[in-house]
Amino acid sequence: MYQRIDGHNWRHIYLVGDLHGCLAQLAEQLRLVRFDPWQDLVISVGDLIDRGPDSLGCLALIDKPWFRAVQGNHEVMALNSLRNTSHNTEDGFLWEMNGGRWFSELNEEAKKQAESLFRRCKTLPLIIELIVQDKRIIIAHADYPLAQWKWQADVDPGQVVWSRARLQRNIKGKGELIRGADAFYFGHTPLKKPKHFFNQHYIDTGVVFGNTLTLVALQ
Residues 6+ apart with CB under 8 A from 109: none
Whether residue 188 lies in the annotated active site: no
Sign of the four-CA dihedral 91, 57, 54, 206: positive
Catalytic residue among 8, 12, 20, 74: 74
> Letter for the amino acid at 150?
K
Cα 47 to Cα 77, 83, 130, 188: the distances in Å are 10, 18, 19, 8
Q: How far apart are the first and last CA of the chain?
A: 24
The 3 state secondary structure assigned to the chain is CEEEEEHHHCCCEEEECCCCCCHHHHHHHHHHCCCCCCCCEEEECCCCCCCCCCHHHHHHHHHCCCEEECCCHHHHHHHHHHCCCCCCCHHHHHHHHHHHHHHHCCCHHHHHHHHHHHHHHCCCCCEEEEEECCEEEEEECCCCCCCECCCCCCCCHHHHHHCCHHHHHHHCCCCCCCECCCEEEECCCCCCCCEEECCEEECCCCHHHCCCCCEEECC
- List active site positions: 74
